[in-house]
């Protein structure tokens, strides 16, 4: 994971994984712990010289694409125009990290073309681009796309693992550690309802101004820390129970949605636990299958109208292909 992105001339291609949040989304924006899993659904970005900046052949789309524009301004100043082609298996605006994966694959490719890049610098660059494009948020998604596997942010429980990097925005700072892979298959499912992370994060900030806000954030922190400890001790039943507890807190924050609740209900007989994942208000769910019930869980989620994927950890983060 700590291998740098090597130098490579254009034309080149790079890819980076999507993610699901297992514990602590939203609270992580306010400095609390989070556990994120990079999943084996990827976005791949190819870069070649072009007559002008284009995204999938289209100059207008390239100009209006916030993440591409920010990345080019931050990482390609003075560079020759590029033809950028992106393909992805991650549904867009699904809560499964499609924008972070796009940014990480693109930044890895541009970094390779500019002589190579170490991962801590890449993680910071990707977070800065996402923050500039989105206005709000934490480095959880972009760090997962750069690191691969399981990562813990701002977590005492995960600090026994390898420290990967620290990432900052202004005076805010998040510390990222590696969490060892317990070797489980997870199931995620997209509701088909696109979400807007910026809008949801801002609504949560308002919700947290109520008198019970600080106590609610503390409960998020305790649940995430307990969840990370349960993953470290490979206690599936406890992880399942804590996923449900985390979902209750997210419901209390006001970010669930009837389509999310319908998928969680459908998952219950085949899952040890499940919750919404990512910003919520649409987007996706994540579920930990009961042993040997992965396929049954996938079927249940599909029958309930979701778009399910059985996923494993992406072993590597952003990489050249």
CB of 269 to ligand MEV, least distance (A): 27
CA distance 301 to 294: 11
Binding segment for ligand MEV among 7-15, 137-145, 212-220, 259-267 (CB under 6 A)?
137-145
DSSP letter at 58 equals B
Q: Does 197 bind ligand MEV (CB under 6 A)?
A: yes
Q: Does 26 bind ligand MEV (CB under 6 A)?
A: yes
Among the listed residues 25, 83, 225, 294, the single contact to ligand MEV using CB under 6 A: 25
Q: Does 141 bind ligand MEV (CB under 6 A)?
A: yes
Question: Are the C-beta atoms of 27 and 34 separated by less than 8 Å?
Answer: yes
Q: Does 137 bind ligand MEV (CB under 6 A)?
A: yes
Find the helix packing angle between 119-134 and 140-147, rounded to 10°: 150
CB of 111 to ligand MEV, least distance (A): 22
Task: Give per-residue burial for 236-255: e unless 16+ CB within 10 Å, then b.
Answer: bebbbbbbbbbbebbbebeb
Q: Does 154 bind ligand MEV (CB under 6 A)?
A: no
Query: Other CB atoms closer than 10 Å to residue 212's CB: what's the count?
Result: 11
Among the listed residues 43, 94, 128, 138, the single contact to ligand MEV using CB under 6 A: 138
Q: Does 17 bind ligand MEV (CB under 6 A)?
A: no
Q: Does 140 bind ligand MEV (CB under 6 A)?
A: yes
Q: Does 250 bind ligand MEV (CB under 6 A)?
A: no
Q: Write the DSSP assignment of 100-160 as a string of letters.
A: HHHHHHHHHHHHHHTT-B-HHHHHHHHHHHHHHHHSS--SHHHHHHHH-SEEEES-SGGGG
Binding segment for ligand MEV among 132-140, 217-225, 261-269, 308-316 (CB under 6 A)?
132-140
CB of 29 to ligand MEV, least distance (A): 5
Please calculate the CA angle 137-17-241 and round it to the nearest 5 degrees. Answer: 70
Q: Kindly determine how many residues on this chain lie close enough to bind ligand MEV according to the rule CB under 6 A.
A: 13
83: left (phi over 0), alpha (psi -120 to 50) or beta: beta
Q: Does 278 bind ligand MEV (CB under 6 A)?
A: yes
Kindly list the residues in this chain that would bind ligand MEV in the complex (CB under 6 A).
Answer: 21, 25-26, 28-29, 137-138, 140-141, 197, 201, 278-279
């Amino acid at each position: 994971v700590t291998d740098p992105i090597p130098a490579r001339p254009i034309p080149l291609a790079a890819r980076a994984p999507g993610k699901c949040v297992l514990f602590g989304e939203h609270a992580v924006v306010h400095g609390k712990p989070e556990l994120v899993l990079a999943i084996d659904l990827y976005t791949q970005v190819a870069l070649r010289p072009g007559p002008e900046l284009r995204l999938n052949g289209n100059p207008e789309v390239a100009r209006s694409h916030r993440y591409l524009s920010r990345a080019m301004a931050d990482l390609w100043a003075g560079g020759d125009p590029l033809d950028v082609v992106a393909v992805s298996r991650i549904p867009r605006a699904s809560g499964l990290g499609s924008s972070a994966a796009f940014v990480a694959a693109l930044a890895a490719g541009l970094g390779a073309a500019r002589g190579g890049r170490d991962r801590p610098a890449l993680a910071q660059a990707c977070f800065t681009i996402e923050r500039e494009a989105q206005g709000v948020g934490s480095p959880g998604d972009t760090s997962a796309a750069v690191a691969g596997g399981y990562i813990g942010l701002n977590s005492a429980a995960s600090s026994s693992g390898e420290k990967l990097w620290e990432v900052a925005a202004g005076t805010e700072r998040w510390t990222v550690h590696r969490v060892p892979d317990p070797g489980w298959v997870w199931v995620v499912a997209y509701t088909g309802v696109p979400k807007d992370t910026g809008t949801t994060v801002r609504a949560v900030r308002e919700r947290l101004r109520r008198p019970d806000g600080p106590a609610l954030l503390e409960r998020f922190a305790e649940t995430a820390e307990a969840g990370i400890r349960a993953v470290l001790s490979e206690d599936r039943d406890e992880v399942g129970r804590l996923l449900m507890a985390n979902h209750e807190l997210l419901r209390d924050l006001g970010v669930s949605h009837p389509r999310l609740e319908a998928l969680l209900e459908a998952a219950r007989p085949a899952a040890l636990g499940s919750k919404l994942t990512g910003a919520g208000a649409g987007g996706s769910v994540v579920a930990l299958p009961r042993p040997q019930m992965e396929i049954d869980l996938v079927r249940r989620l599909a029958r309930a109208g979701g778009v399910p994927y059985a996923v494993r950890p992406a072993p590597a983060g952003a990489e050249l292909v």
